[in-house]
């Protein structure tokens, strides 16, 4: 897989930096069994652009696992041949300064120099291309775990400089259908949130894309959809690169996906001499983080994971799917159960094999439930369910959670 071997020499800075230029990362954390892809989202302004969406994807085909790592746009790193600057300026600088290999090679060098991460392929999508690709898929069913409100243009053709053209827009928890325009708003909105919150929303949309690509009707259209990607994106990814991973994509669930984001304490806030707010990497902590995130950990063997059957008795559409998604994120096997005709006030976690409260504790923690949800003797015994636990979601269930990292 490797397309970028370690370098022995690096170009020095051409301009003074506001802070010391770090030494290159001495370790390489992407081994030869890992294939990597860098996903970049750009605003593509008339004269310049920045890559404000930066998502590193590492695939291990022999294990059938994927690691996602979101990088903040204000991460202050050394850009080889230039100076220490925000990571989102690197691609444009490489495109317009004659750097050997242009923007794609410079962003590769940034990742190798600062993080010890090899980038095999890249995809750069501008926002118009993103909308068109989502619409070509028929929109996305996005798992929204937490309510989110932010400013949005009343219509995309209105002048964004006029205050009266904006309105507050809210998405509530559930499985929310989003067309290209709405999905773009959801991954970009930041007037009432942080970059770290955006990372979670961006990864949720990526998960919705994964689910759409697994549908049989979409599967048949993959060659055409890949053609759209090449039309609306700048990339060195080829159909030949994609083909070996298609069987893996079809069987992928959340237990095979490890999601991370770079946030404190891996970085520390710093103000530049010019007054800009940036994030300085904490090199030692980042090295440990990459070792953990990219370690070859296989998913649980079939039949070994705790199996949880989930029934929606909350009266809220889609909350069972959110609970299934959450459980899979923490490594549980799941079994969807038909929706209840009766709405429960309180959520019940029912042991099906006589488990006690101590055995229920990890599951209660991962679901954000209090010990009162543990129901060892329900009024009505559930029907025959071949599972370890039966989770009945009530009106009190809160689907909102912040998965900073995936637990082993």
- CB atoms closer than 10 angstroms to residue 363: 22
**pLDDT for the residue 186:** 94
Question: CA-CA distance, 184 to 247, in Å (whole number)?
Answer: 29
Q: Mean pLDDT for each consecutive 10-residue tract of the chain (408 residues)? A: 74 94 94 93 76 93 89 96 97 94 96 96 91 92 92 90 94 94 91 80 87 83 88 92 84 78 93 94 95 84 82 94 88 90 95 93 95 85 82 95 52
Residue 363's nearest CA partner among 302, 306, 299, 303 is 306
Identify whether the C-beta of residue 141 lies closer than 8 Å to the C-beta of residue 175: yes
**pLDDT for the residue 406:** 36
**pLDDT for the residue 45:** 59
**What is the 3-state composition of the chain as percent helix, strand, coil, each rounded to the nearest 5?**
30, 25, 45
**pLDDT for the residue 35:** 94
**pLDDT for the residue 7:** 75
């Amino acid at each position: 897989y490797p397309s970028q071997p370690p370098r022995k020499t690096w170009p020095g800075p051409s301009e003074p930096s506001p802070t010391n230029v770090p030494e290159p990362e001495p370790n390489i954390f992407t081994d030869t069994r890992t294939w990597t892809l860098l996903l970049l989202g750009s605003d593509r302004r008339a004269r310049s652009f920045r890559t404000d969406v930066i998502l590193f994807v590492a695939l291990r085909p022999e294990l059938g696992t994927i690691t996602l790592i979101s990088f903040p746009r204000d991460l202050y790193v050394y850009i080889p041949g230039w100076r220490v600057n925000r990571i989102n300026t690197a691609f444009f600088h490489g495109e317009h300064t004659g750097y050997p290999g242009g923007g794609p090679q410079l962003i590769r060098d940034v990742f190798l120099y600062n993080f010890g991460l090899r980038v095999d392929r890249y995809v750069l999508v501008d926002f118009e291309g993103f909308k068109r690709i989502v619409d070509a898929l028929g929109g996305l069913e996005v798992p929204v775990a937490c309510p989110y409100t932010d400013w949005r243009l009343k219509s995309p053709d209105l002048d964004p400089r006029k205050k009266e053209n904006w309105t507050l827009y809210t998405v509530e928890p559930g499985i929310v259908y989003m067309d290209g325009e709405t999905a773009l708003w959801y991954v970009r909105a930041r007037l009432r949130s942080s970059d770290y919150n955006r990372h979670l929303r961006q990864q949720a949309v990526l998960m919705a894309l994964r689910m759409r690509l697994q549908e049989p009707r979409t599967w048949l259209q993959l060659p055409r959809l890949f053609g759209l990607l090449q039309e609306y994106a700048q990339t060195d990814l080829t159909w030949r690169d994609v083909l070996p991973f298609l069987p893996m994509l079809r069987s992928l669930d959340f237990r095979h996906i490890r999601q991370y984001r770079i946030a404190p304490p891996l970085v520390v806030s710093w103000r530049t001499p010019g007054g800009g707010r940036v994030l300085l990497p904490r090199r030692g902590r980042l090295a440990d983080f990459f070792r953990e995130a990219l370690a070859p950990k296989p998913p649980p063997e079939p039949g070994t994971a705790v199996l949880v059957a989930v029934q929606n008795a909350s009266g809220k559409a889609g909350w069972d799917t959110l609970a299934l998604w959450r459980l899979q994120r923490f490594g549980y096997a799941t079994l969807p159960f038909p929706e209840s005709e009766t709405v429960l006030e309180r959520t019940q976690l029912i042991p099906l094999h006589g488990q006690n409260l101590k055995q229920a504790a990890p599951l209660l923690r991962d679901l954000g439930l209090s010990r009162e949800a543990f129901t060892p003797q329900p009024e009505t015994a559930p029907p025959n369910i071949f599972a370890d636990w039966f989770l009945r979601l009530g009106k009190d269930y809160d689907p909102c959670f912040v998965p900073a990292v995936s637990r082993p």
